[in-house]
A and B are shown apart, each in its own frame.
Chain A
Amino acid sequence: MFFALTDEQRALQDSVRRFTADRFGLRSVREVWDDADGDGDPPELWKAVADQGWLAGLVPERFGGLGLGLLDAAVIARCWGEAVAPGPLPATTVAAEAIRLGGSDEQQREWLPRVAAAEVRLTLAVGGVSVHDGALSGVVDHVEYPHVADRIVVVGPDGMWLVDPAGPGVTVTRHDALDRSTRLGTVALQRAPGEPLRADAASDVLDRGAVLCANDLVGVARQALTRTVDYVRTREQFGRPVGSFQALKHALADLHVAVSMAEHAGWYSAHALDEARPDADRAVSVAKAKAGQAARDTTAAMIQFHGGIGYTWEHDAHFYFKRAKREEYQYGDTPTHLERLARLAFDGG
């Protein structure tokens, strides 16, 4: 029995945390937030992704990667959430999984070495896309970083394709979304050519996306809680720290329990997929539902317990609050995952 990260995984966690703390802290995050017209993809951060090999983990060794598991990627996702870090690393990670799991040998050879070296950016567009004579049509909203992507993995009801955003019939429109740490856009396809990927890999890819998203949410929630606790320990009203009042203590204790449970569920969901455990489906939905709720509650408490300053643009609380809100609805919202858990329970899972 060893329900914990290995020494190597802890070392990876330390190195990502050290980088974001020293080189891409909240001041850098704020610059991205305040630059609404920018592409939201800071080059120094992407350079670190390349230098540190943060996209190489899931790529098999024969394609120049490290051949690690989803749990290792979850460690990075967790740190990314803690840092409320911007950029297309999460989208690229999930889209590369679509190529690894659903791509032909040729497609893997073409893309995975460049993913491992962070030479390309990818993203995932999930929506009601239809296919006629091999051409794709449909509009997919809320796609992460389509404007910087070299390829878009389109996931529709009837299949999964690799689409070149610069190709014919593809229009990308950017939006100014609430969470500016992750830029969203609309991808409109009008008889756009797409290279097919194996359709039966799609549900696994989306589960993997849910796991990474859940771990990012856990990072957001843990940071929001830690920062709030630090604040209420020192902020004084009525001649004493406000953190000494039970109204706050009990709420924060409940949040600590919730975030701790979400941490367990986040790690386990990645492990369950890595090992193809029989309860993997359940583990994914438990992780996403728990992390979504924990992050929603914790980031809301962060604003509330900071009082007036917590509701200002200049305070960092809204970075966490808005990121948590976005991720709550990605890769299946909470009711979707709860319904899946009910179905699995009735099916005896």
Chain B
Amino acid sequence: MDVSYEPETERFRAEFRGWLEANLPAEWRASGYWERLDSDEAFATRREWEAGKARAGFAGIEWPTEFGGRGGTPAMKAVYDEEMAVANAPRTVNSLGLVFLAPTVMAIGTDEQKRDIVKPLLYNEVIWCQGFSEPGAGSDLAAVALRADVDGDDYVLNGQKTWTSNARHADMMFALARTDRAAERHQGLSMLLVDLHAPGVDVRPLKQLSGATEFGEVFFTDVRVPLAAVLGAENRGWQVAMLLLSFERGASAMGQYTAFRREVNDILALARRTGRDRDPLLRQAIGRSVVELECLRLHSLHVLTEVEQGRELGAAASMTKLQWSETHQDIGELFTDVAGLAHQIGEPALQQSFLWSRSETIWGGTSQIQRNIVAERLLGLPR
């Protein structure tokens, strides 16, 4: 066993840390900074900063250099996530494009798609969102009903997507649409690349329970999409969606670990200030959060080792998701328990994180779906 990183990885860490120190304004690192800004202004600022980071070579860490990436290792990506969280740097504004779309395009896209999609995405010239969920298709993704009918050289889209993260700021959407209504429900889907500035697209913000409007619903009325704007083959959308989601699997949770650990430190400081650090029951809850957090860190090291050894992770990603999302919810409850009623009016960063944690067991596959996957694919229980 050896839990240290290669010297090359540590050199990369030092280099990136140095860049962050020089290029991340000190006031941005302060707790609650982003919560006080207007959300459009915050988005624009983060978009520009992130593009500068990409130009400096700190983006697409594990992508091949031909796609504008750094050509690094999975360990470097984990270290990158860690350093971003340590610095309290703003999270990416293009996560769905970076995590899901770009690796899929690199794997199965046409030469034109590789050229037109990957680099502009990396430099935030184009912001992407994901069009999967619909009012009638949540956990049951194959129930997608957005219609895409062929008319001349175009598909014509009619229908609706919902819970779309980044809907308000996105330029493009990779959308699962029904291109063959006669086929079995998994067979008639295609992954379309839709311009959200096209006529007939109506984006309406949805106000979340946190008060933010960073997701929305998107309505399509006779929206024309060129036939060439399909990722993978027509009617192979389900397979493309599964490939796309698989790219999250190798992802390490070191970024989450580091960010959550900082939240716990903020909660400890709050407890000290209010004298709640002497409450034995709260101390037990703090101990439990430490246990789950450290397990998350060790699980990330395990996943990283598996990836480096070239092993297929498959359904194990569901364990990662369950561990980090449920741990984060516990930390949110720890915050309210330590703060007491003061959580209603104070500590904006912890307050927002506490609210946001309720969404984390829903998006990206609910905890219930993750448990089905663990039970059926890892434990072999019958369907």
Contact = CB atoms under 8 A, between A and B. Distances in A.
B295 A264 contact: yes
B380 A229 contact: yes
A247 B305 CA distance: 33
Nearest to A228: B379
Interface residues of A, number: 48
Chain A CB count within 10 A is highest, among B272, B305, B371, for B371
B305 A3 contact: yes
B372 A233 contact: no
Contacts of A237: none
Interface stretch (B2-10, B56-64, B164-172): B2-10
B12 to A, nearest CB: 13
Contacts of B290: 282, 286, 341-342, 344-345
Given A335-B284, A339-B280, A340-B287, A3 B298 contact: yes
Given A1-B2, A233-B381, A286 B295 contact: yes
Given A244-B382, A244-B383, A289-B291, A1 B374 contact: no
A135 interface: no
Contact of B1 (A244, A267, A290): A267
Contacts of A6: 1
Nearest to A277: B3
Nearest to A2: B2
Interface residues of B, number: 46
A339 B284 CA distance: 6
Contact of A252 (B2, B368, B370, B375): B375
A264 B299 contact: yes
Contacts of A285: 287
Given A339-B283, A345-B264, A244 B319 contact: no
A338 B376 contact: no
B277 A249 contact: no
B382 A233 contact: yes
Contact of A250 (B294, B305, B309, B368): B368
B30 to A, nearest CB: 20
Interface string A255-290: 011001110110110010000000000110110011
A346 B375 contact: no
Chain B CB count within 10 A is highest, among A2, A6, A257, for A257
Contacts of A341: 286-287, 290-291
A241 to B, nearest CB: 5
Chain B CB count within 10 A is highest, among A1, A71, A248, A271, for A1
B308 interface: yes
B288 interface: yes
Contacts of B288: 289, 338
A148 B370 CA distance: 49
B291 A260 contact: no
Interface in A232-255: 232-233, 240-241, 243-244, 246, 248-250, 252-254
Interface in A12-47: none
A245 to B, nearest CB: 9
A289 B4 CA distance: 25
A244 B291 CA distance: 31
A342 B381 contact: no
Given A253-B379, A271-B1, A246 B372 contact: yes
Nearest to B303: A3
Given A1-B304, A340-B287, A283 B294 contact: yes
Given A1-B2, A1-B4, A250 B371 contact: yes
A297 B375 CA distance: 17
A141 to B, nearest CB: 25
A3 B280 contact: no
A289 B287 contact: yes
A158 B58 CA distance: 56
Given A2-B1, A267-B1, A286-B295, A257 B323 contact: yes
A261 B299 contact: yes
Contacts of B292: 261
B378 interface: yes
Interface in B292-323: 292, 294-295, 298-299, 301-302, 304-305, 308-309, 319, 322-323
Contacts of B304: 1, 3
Contact of B319 (A229, A256, A267, A343): A256
A271 B309 CA distance: 20
A9 B150 CA distance: 60
Contact of B371 (A71, A232, A249, A342): A249
B143 interface: no
Interface string A313-349: 0000000000000000000000101111111111000
A283 B376 CA distance: 32
B367 to A, nearest CB: 9
Nearest to A248: B381
Contacts of B2: 1-2
A150 B364 CA distance: 59
Contact of A264 (B5, B287, B298, B370): B298
Chain A CB count within 10 A is highest, among B5, B268, B299, B370, for B299
B379 A229 contact: yes
B294 A286 contact: yes
A1 B383 contact: no
Contacts of B374: 253, 256-257
B295 A265 contact: yes
Contact of B381 (A252, A261, A282, A283): A252
A309 interface: no
A261 B287 contact: no
Contact of B380 (A233, A262, A286, A335): A233
B271 to A, nearest CB: 8
State the 6 A-B residue pairs at the shortest beta-carbon distance, nearest first. A338-B287, A249-B375, A261-B295, A264-B298, A253-B374, A342-B283
27 contacts: A5-B1, A229-B381, A233-B380, A240-B382, A241-B381, A249-B376, A250-B375, A253-B372, A254-B371, A257-B322, A264-B295, A265-B291, A268-B3, A282-B290, A286-B290, A286-B291, A286-B294, A289-B287, A289-B288, A338-B286, A339-B280, A340-B287, A342-B287, A345-B268, A345-B286, A345-B287, A346-B277
Interface of A: 1-6, 71, 229, 232-233, 240-241, 243-244, 246, 248-250, 252-254, 256-257, 260-262, 264-265, 267-268, 271, 282-283, 285-286, 289-290, 335, 337-346
